[in-house]
Amino acid sequence: MSDKLIKVGISQGDINGISYELIIKTFEDVRIFEFCIPVLYGSSKALAYHRKAMELPFVSVNTIHHAGEAGINRLNIVNCGNEEIAVNFSKTNPESESMTMQAMQRALSDLKAGLIDVLVLAPSNIDETQILSEQLGHAPLKILVHNSFRVALASGKVPLSNVLSLLTVDLLVDKIKALHASLIHDFTITLPRIAVLSFNPGMGIKERKEGREETEIIIPAIKAANESRIICFGPYSGDEFFANCDYAKFDAILAVYHDQGVTPFRGISADEGVCYFAGLPFVATAPDHGASYDKAGRNESSEVSFRNAIYLAINVFKTRKLNKGIYANPLKKQYFEKGSDNEKLDLTKDEE
């Protein structure tokens, strides 16, 4: 594996959506090959079909059997699933969903085996968080990222009526701690400042009003986080918080339910945001939008979010590698021998 170039695994997403359009547009710019060796888990035939159907630019492609064969200055493709499946723009179906899953499983297998360094998930209609949890044995914290604007989601895509049954003090404390750890180790923020949103509209510290969920769940979680030396504030009413640009005062925001965080984030990030899956032993990202079946095959989609997902994965991988080196050989504790007028510093003792 190259000492300089990071091997980026890319799961193809849904072949009937916009994923291949984003991939082709991203790797049309050959400058990206200066930063990574891309390995696409998908279909060379599907890529060729998308390029021809939308008259997209030529991309240098290399079909390989496994990630170890990947070469530089080209898009390497590992074919996964049924190569004869027909592309049907704008319509997902069981066959395309099966190919999405096969590609993701192959990519995750190679990620765990160390054959690729990071994983970028191209858009599909499957729940990436659930798949990552099942395959890696650990539920990630979903953080939406756009430059220094970060919004973490305490719950996934569940009906709002079910959120309360999932929302507990322990859950929020765990999410706050996971967010805090990621800000330090993945984003190199020494003393992160975290804001937590309220559950009920018009309830929060600025409004001086509290609902039952704030009193019984959110405020106790914030207090517990502060007792763990995490700089955490709230709860804030979401409407005033985003309307007044209060989010700019914090390093990250924790939204207690999905749409509370996703809706304002997408409005502010203008389709350039990235989804980062924090708390995993590996680095995984995705563009912050779905398969956009309504735009499939029309050559109308922007690749900026997908490209940003690649860059974020590379940056976090480098940050983790640097941190690993820093903490690999920490300084030993210094011991003083006391009891006389001449105190002596002993550096020979090992830490117990």
Q: How far apart are CA 117 and CA 228, in angstroms?
A: 33
Range(s) of the domain holding residue 230: 146-270
Which one is predicted more confidently, 2 or 111?
Answer: 111
Q: Are residues 50 and 171 in the same domain?
A: no
| Residue 168 neighbours by CB under 8 Å, 6+ apart | 217
Q: How far apart are CA 236 and CA 253, in angstroms?
A: 10
| Close Cβ partners of 43 (under 8 Å, ≥ 6 residues apart) | 12, 15, 77, 79, 80, 81, 83, 85, 99
Which strand (E) or helix (H) includes residue 10? strand 6-11
Determine phi and psi for 43, rounding to 5 degrees: -145, 120
CA dihedral sign of residues 234, 235, 238, 240: negative
Identify whether 275 is part of a domain: no
Pair 209, 94 in one domain: no
Rounded Cα distance, 161 and 155, in Å: 12
Q: Are residues 316 and 258 in the same domain?
A: no
Q: How many domains does the chain have?
A: 2
**What would the pLDDT profile of 209-238 be if each residue is shown by its tens digit?**
888 889 999 999 999 999 999 999 999 999
pLDDT at 3 over 80: no
Task: Say which range, 50-59, 95-104, 160-169, 311-320, has the weakest mean pLDDT.
Answer: 160-169
- pLDDT band of 2, cuts 50, 70, 90: very low
Mean pLDDT throughout 60-83? 92
pLDDT attached to residue 1: 42
In whole numbers, what is the pLDDT of the chain averaged over residues?
90
Q: Residue 181 belongs to a domain with what CATH number?
A: 3.40.718.10
| pLDDT digits 0-9 by tens, 183-212 | 999 999 999 999 999 999 888 888 788 888
Is residue 309 domain-shared with residue 207, that is, in the same domain? no
In a domain, 352, yes or no: no
Tens of pLDDT along 238-278?
989 999 999 999 999 999 999 999 999 999 998 899 999 99
17 and 80 belong to one structural domain:
yes
15 and 117 assigned to the same domain = yes
Are 217 and 323 part of one and the same domain? no
Domain boundary among 213, 242, 270: 270
The verdict on 112 and 244 lying in the same domain is no
Residues 23 and 82 in one domain: yes
Nearest to 261 by CA among 120, 181, 149: 149
List pLDDT tens digits, range 140-161.
999 999 999 999 999 988 888 8
Radius of gyration of the chain (CA): 23
Domain end among 245, 270, 295: 270
pLDDT for 290 = 87
Same domain, 119 and 242: no
Which of 225, 247, 270 is where one domain is finished? 270
Please check whether residues 131 and 164 belong to one and the same domain.
Answer: no
Residues 130, 150, single domain; the answer is no
Please check whether residue 285 lies inside any domain of the structure. Answer: yes
